[in-house]
Structure formats: C-alpha cells, structure tokens
Amino acid sequence: MKLTDIGTVKELMGENAFKKQFGQNFLISESVPRRIAEAGFAEGVLEIGPGIGTLTRELCAHAKKVVAVEIDTTLLPILDKTLADFDNVKVINNDIMKVDVAALVKEEFADCKEVAVCANLPYYITSPVLMKLLESKVGFTSITVMVQKEVATRLSAPAGHETYGALTAAVSYYASVKKLFDVPAGCFMPKPKVDSAVVKLTLYQEPPVNCQEETLFKVIKGAFAQRRKTLVNSLSTVIGHIPKSALAEIITSCGFAEGVRGETLDIHAFAKIANAIDAYQA
C-alpha cells in the first residue's frame, strides 16, 4: 500500500473528512517521511499525530519501537490497516496535551537506550507541544518535527533577529536547533496555505546556563510580553518585589545598557539577569 498516493489516501479516508481543527494535512511526498525518520533516528520513537500512518511506517522501518499518539478516533481503524505489517508500533488514542509524557516514556520505552520524538506536528499547537515535550525533562535525545516555515525561522533565529522571540529563547535553554530542509505545500493533502520546514532540536544533557529556572522563565516571559518596551519597563511588571530603579541597576550591573530591549538578549544574558535578580536584597 502506497500511502503517498492521492488515490490511496482518498480511498482510506472514505467518508472521513480531513479535520481542519486537528491540523490534518497528510504527507504525500515519498522522500520527506524517510528523511524525517533518518534524521530523527533513535531506538524508541514517540510520534505525535500519525494521521493515516505515512510517517509512522517509515519510523517503524527504522526504530525498534514506535508509539504514536493520535487524537482523532476516526483514524484508528485506518491505522489498524496501514500499520498491520509492523509489530513494533503502538497507537494511543489521546490528546498529546493531556498525556503524561514522562509516564508514557517510562512505561513504553523501558527497553530502548535512546528515545526521540518525530512528528509532522499539527500546526495549531506547535509551541505548546514543543514546550510540553521540553519541560517534561524526559531526556529525549532529539525532537525532529515538521513546522510552519515561519516557525522554523523563528526557532533558529539568533538574538536580535526580527523573528527572535520568547519561544526561541525558551527553546534555547533546552536544545540546539537546526533547520534541516524546506517542504513545499504541495507535499501535503489537502494542500495547506503555508510552506513548511523540518527542524531538529538536539537536547542538551545539561542546561547551557546555571540559574533558577523559575526566575529565568519569568524574565524571558516578561521581556517579550511587551515587545517595544525596554527590558526594565517590561520586567517591572513581572518582578514585583524589586523597585524599578533597582531593576535598572541590576541590568546595568550585568553589563547591559539601561535602555536595552529583551529581544536583543540571548539565553546567557537572560540567565545573568535572572541570577542578579535572585541575588538582590533590598
């Protein structure tokens, strides 16, 4: 069965409509699923949103075990058919946002040395899914995902770039990001309005900076909450216990100009400021 064939996809879907609310744009390219599976290889692979199983089958051909979490119950009988040739896959019918990822990995991948995530992500929840996977601290070796091209640019943007934002800074605490390749809209059925790209997040064994996570993420969140404001003005709304004048001193004592804006700072700069905030005594 060739799942990248439009006629086969239509036949498998039958009466089922492609559900826009679940971001259902299925891959009909032969090379893209193989390239994702090769780039994201690990013994154990967690897939989010298998759809009709196009990427899943490639993952099964490479990995020792694949667990695929799919929200749409109507796709389950289709996946039964398309994955029938493989005995190393388990499909779980659930919303990934409701799954206890750490518990799932512990239960399903006990006999796998390394576990990675591979997915053609549903675009309506790209950022929350990525943050959930990273914050779960499961020790995934990598996360190789298809995202909107614009999100791929944002994820790999350096500090100061126009697309650099809170997501970029937060992700850079957990992983290095590499854009692997672009995927044109014609590689999907139905064809989406946007182009896509595959990115690989390689997770750090140890964080690249040493500081209190809670303060660091407060600073990052605050810094990007009001983009056109200076850092001192943005932080004064989220760091309530330190007067604005003292926050200005903290920022300059860390070596930054008083009028610096958050979008020009990288993770090392944010960590330096977070540590100075934690060391502050009135």
Residues that bind ligand SAM (CB under 6 A): 22-27, 48-51, 54-55, 69-72, 95-97, 120, 122, 125
Alpha carbons within 13 angstroms on the beta-carbon side of residue 181 total 11
Please report, for residues 34, 38, 276, the alpha-carbon distance to residue 118 in angstroms, rounded to integers and kept in the order given: 11, 10, 38
Determine the Cα angle at 140 with ends 138 and 145, to 5°. 125
Beta carbon nearer to ligand SAM, 23 or 222: 23
Beta carbon nearer to ligand SAM, 27 or 130: 27
Beta carbon nearer to ligand SAM, 27 or 248: 27
At 263, give phi and psi (nearest 5°): -70, -5
Shortest reach from residue 129's CB to ligand SAM, in Å: 8
Which residues make Cβ contacts (< 8 Å) with residue 216, sequence separation at least 6?
A: 173, 209, 270, 271, 274
Beta carbon nearer to ligand SAM, 71 or 223: 71
How many C-beta neighbours within 10 Å does residue 158 have?
Answer: 10
At 25, which helix (H) or strand (E)?
none
Shortest reach from residue 27's CB to ligand SAM, in Å: 4
Please report, for residues 14, 137, 281, the alpha-carbon distance to residue 55 in angstroms, rounded to integers and kept in the order given: 20, 25, 54
3-class SS of residue 216? helix
Shortest reach from residue 173's CB to ligand SAM, in Å: 24
Shortest reach from residue 51's CB to ligand SAM, in Å: 3
Shortest reach from residue 82's CB to ligand SAM, in Å: 11
- Report the C-alpha gap between 254 and 257 in whole angstroms: 9
Shortest reach from residue 11's CB to ligand SAM, in Å: 15
Shortest reach from residue 46's CB to ligand SAM, in Å: 11
Beta carbon nearer to ligand SAM, 36 or 274: 36
Determine the Cα angle at 103 with ends 98 and 109, to 5°. 120
Q: What is the DSSP letter of 12?
A: H
Beta carbon nearer to ligand SAM, 117 or 216: 117
Beta carbon nearer to ligand SAM, 23 or 165: 23
